[in-house]
A and B are shown apart, each in its own frame.
Chain A
């Protein structure tokens, strides 16, 4: 481009951009930034504001600011909803951990190396399909006349009526989020220094001892990261409690949904619930950043 006779221009980045330093960052960062500001930050600030207007309903004149919507959450009926959401999240996270750890362990350390990637992809493949349809699949299994009861009666066991009970919610949530648990635990176990296990064995440790004294402590940050991530996702899940849990499994997401798209149209109260949910998730994220293995999560 430059004629050979011309003085050699400084071609470093800084020198080239010096006259219009602001142009590059603006072109690269402004479009997405404006979009996030307009459709995420402003809306979130807006629901923070209307959560502070007690008794706000769509189409009604609103009064002044106050904490009425937040105080309403403290009524026993709503505290039960929050307690149930936490129970769903904690229970299904523990189930995912107990079921997912052996799978991740086998995939990362014991599976045939040649097939390892394919086996991992095979386990998380169901994530590519619609979460709605996977939850729906469990309704066909758990219905009173469904596949599960057909299997039970064939085996001579009593039929169970699990659909529309919290049991079905635990099954559905565990099923939906088990692949995430396995994926993150796998990333953590894969990095485990197996020489430590060899050394322990050389020094006379039993496999059980080296599992509890080396494998588990070494992967604890990964376990924390995976568990908190599954906890956050299950805490706010909407599809599984709605399709599998029935009326007895109202959780916080369903309650918020009803305030906006249901008959009550209590937007102020719904916004306050949203802020509480965001706060709960932020606390979990803060724990994740403090104790979890961030790299494992981003790699996964």
Chain B
């Protein structure tokens, strides 16, 4: 092993930018900011294994909070409520949002600008305003608040986010493929289901993941549309942590963070795969 052989070779396809300001402080500062981003998460992780009830001092390694977590019926049923809401709202929104994105890309009609503007509103209007408006509307229509009303309210932002992600993919799509299918005798419906939808699949999936994460994270809209009928996880966590530190919530955080890291990894993998396919065609 010669000492030089392991030295990093400059990438021939991307020559380094000459005469860039060669300061080291940006890299040092960036490292510090990475530490800032992960510090709270690491603190939660460490304390979730702490035997102390008040987690002020380190009283030794313990799994007691994880045992407490997995025997906490109330918390587990809250998790189940949240998963039900997110899965149902995202599944319906995937269909509605994708259809809306295709419709907006394909047709011109009177009031299209207005329709498009309304479709962006859930991304723009603050959650608290949407939550308040939905509550007032449901009460004035005498709709009883329940799990179903949370799902209905979550669908509003889920379908908007899915439509935005699908729309941006549609803009970069080759329209010739679908026309070819039509020329070869496919009906418009066949062409859409067998040609267009498979091309959109990575974007639909990415939009669904985003909507799922937002639905699982939502506190305000759920709080205003739940009534006594349902108790999703953010409401349960919020009511517990408001009154101080709860070590079993540390354990829950670690479980949820691992879950979302898994989802993030999945999302990046799908994006990487679809980028590769796009580059090779």
Contacts and interface: CB of A to CB of B under 8 A. Distances in A.
Contact of B136 (A122, A123, A267): A267
Contacts of B188: 13, 16-17, 24
A107 B253 contact: no
B257 A129 contact: yes
B121 A40 contact: yes
Interface string A36-58: 11011111101100100000001
A76 interface: no
A222 B55 CA distance: 42
Interface string B18-45: 1111110111011001101111110110
Contact of B43 (A2, A17, A137, A278): A137
Interface string B195-217: 00000000000000000010011
A40 B118 contact: yes
A157 to B, nearest CB: 18
Contacts of A277: 126, 128-129
Interface string B143-159: 00000000011011001
Q: How large is the interface on B (under 10, 10 to 19, 20 to 34, 35 or more residues)?
A: 35 or more
A285 interface: yes
Given A35-B155, A39-B134, A136 B253 contact: yes
A279 to B, nearest CB: 10
A145 B185 contact: no
Contacts of A99: 33, 36
A65 interface: no
A269 to B, nearest CB: 11
Nearest to B99: A28
B37 A178 contact: yes
A256 B128 contact: yes
B36 A175 contact: yes
B178 to A, nearest CB: 9
A201 B18 CA distance: 9
Q: How large is the interface on A (under 10, 10 to 19, 20 to 34, 35 or more residues)?
A: 35 or more
Interface stretch (B59-67, B68-76, B235-243): B235-243
B174 interface: no
Contacts of A296: none
A102 B30 contact: yes
Contact of B44 (A36, A106, A140, A253): A140
A102 B99 contact: no
Contact of A39 (B153, B182, B234): B153
A47 B11 CA distance: 59
Contacts of A33: 100, 115, 118
Contacts of A239: 219, 238
Contacts of A84: none
Contact of A260 (B11, B20, B135, B155): B135
Interface centre among A2, A123, A129 (most CB of B within 10 A): A129
A139 interface: yes
8 contacts: A16-B187, A25-B107, A40-B122, A102-B33, A122-B34, A140-B55, A201-B19, A299-B168
Interface of B: 11, 14, 17-23, 25-27, 29-30, 33-34, 36-41, 43-44, 47, 54-56, 95-97, 99-100, 102-104, 106-107, 109, 115, 118-119, 121-122, 124-130, 132-137, 139-140, 152-153, 155-156, 159-160, 163-164, 168, 179, 182-183, 185, 187-188, 213, 216-217, 219-220, 223-224, 234, 237-238, 241-242, 245, 249-250, 252-253, 256-257, 260-261, 263-264, 268
Given A132-B238, A271-B136, 20 more contacts: A13-B188, A32-B96, A32-B99, A32-B100, A32-B159, A39-B155, A43-B133, A47-B129, A102-B30, A106-B29, A130-B256, A133-B257, A201-B18, A236-B128, A239-B238, A253-B128, A274-B128, A274-B129, A298-B164, A298-B168
- The list of the 4 closest CB pairs from A to B, nearest first, reads A207-B21, A28-B103, A236-B126, A137-B40
